[in-house]
Amino acid sequence: MDAGPGARRGGLVKANIVVLPGDGVGPEVVNAALSVLATVCDADDAQVSIDVRCIGGRAIDEFGMPLPDETLDACKAADAVLLGAVGGPAWDHLRGEHRCEAGLLRLRRELDVFANVRPVKVHPHLTDRTSLRPEVTRGTDLVIVRELTGGAYFGQPRGRTGTGPDEIARDSIVYSAGEIDRVARVAFELAQSRRGQLISIDKANVLITSQLWREVVTALAPEYPDVSLTHELVDSFAMRLVREPATIDVVVAENLFGDILSDEAAVLVGSLGLLPSASLGASDQGLYEPIHGSAPSLAGRGVVNPYGAILSVAMLLRHSLHRDDLAVAIESAVDVCITEDVLTADLGGAASTDAVADAVAREALRHLGARSGAAS
């Protein structure tokens, strides 16, 4: 990468991002996020090239497979990947490796993005927009670190055999000590940078893989003396998550548990559409996506919430491009826009997808302008 203005702040000024719009509302939220990204990059002379590729249902329709080799090769060569969502009723009849979700799972495995980081922060203006009492959700600021390339989603053997009442379906939960160690280190280091509290989730009273999980995480704790580690069973923690979320800092969990818990956490903030995620590995490259699905019933109506996708772009700027300054501009803009009731229908507002993106872009520009003025 060339040196330039961004390099003075420790980040990249040239980057190649592969964009996978996906299915359903995916293209709408991705386009909204890209408009914000373009705004902040243009304002700072950061050059970001966009390479749009197919995944999921659209890829099945055009190429006969959910993740074409051309898409995978482009993703491997990119500095970062931005994803919408995949799947929908048109492809639900497909099985095994032909399903839309199989392409996403393969992409995660091939990129080796083993740690999915999902921040969950309740905006003060939205404490009355959830099904929980405001005094329960107020002050919630937690992060769920989900192991992403192991467990039941990838374990072998798996499949279906037999027919009729004798048909058997089988999934396997498989983890190595090394897989657990590397994702736990991400969580420990994240806890070090926050409030120093880490909760490890398992089902060690029943599952052998959870017993290994607990042993490996416990063995790491002495390397992080400034982090307080506790272990909780997934079922009891699921209740704690909605009863006292403000007491939680960082959570680390295996793939299936982390998937379920992070979706449950959406009730805290008011909508799945608000939550971003970053899937990270050993390199700077990452896969970024809002945690919601393709929501085909909302597609094409211009009403879907793009905040999760926009905040995913902020995470992309921070983690893969090392442009924390631009990430902060976007995050600050989102905070202001939510405070000013720029909300889509899922949050009780009337703003369109594009209106939200335009408002965030304008506010981000104001933030960057104020920053430049302060620096001069």
Quickly tell me which residue has 């982090």 as its tokens: 227
Alpha helices in 194-306 (DSSP H): 208-220, 234-243, 255-264, 266-269
Contact 148, 361 (CB under 8 A): no
153 is catalytic: yes
Active-site residue (options: 203, 324, 335, 354): 203
Whether 92 sits among the annotated catalytic residues: the reply is: no
Strands annotated E in the chain:
14-22, 47-52, 80-85, 115-121, 141-147, 155-161, 168-172, 197-202, 228-233, 250-253, 278-280, 286-288
Q: Is 235 a catalytic residue?
A: yes
Cα 349 to chain centroid distance, Å, stands at: 24
Task: Look up 44 and say whether it is catalytic.
Answer: no
Say which of 259, 325, 346, 358 is annotated catalytic: 259
Q: Among 42, 235, 284, 341, which one carries the catalytic annotation?
A: 235
SS3 354: helix
Q: CB-based contacts of 336: which residues, under 8 Å, 6+ apart?
A: 363
Determine whether 202 is an active site residue: no
Phi, psi of 154 (to 5 degrees): -125, -15
Q: Write out the H or E segment, with its range, that includes residue 27.
A: helix 26-43
**Which residue of the set 263, 324, 335, 354 is catalytic?**
263
β-partners of residue 233 are: 202
**Candidate list 153, 175, 224, 307, residue with the active-site label:** 153
Nearest to 323 by CA among 8, 2, 11, 3: 11
- Distance, in Å, from the CA atom of 237 to the CA atom of 166, rounded to the nearest integer, reads 36
Q: Are strands 80-85 and 286-288 parallel, antiparallel or unpaired?
A: parallel
Residues forming the active site: 153, 203, 235, 259, 263
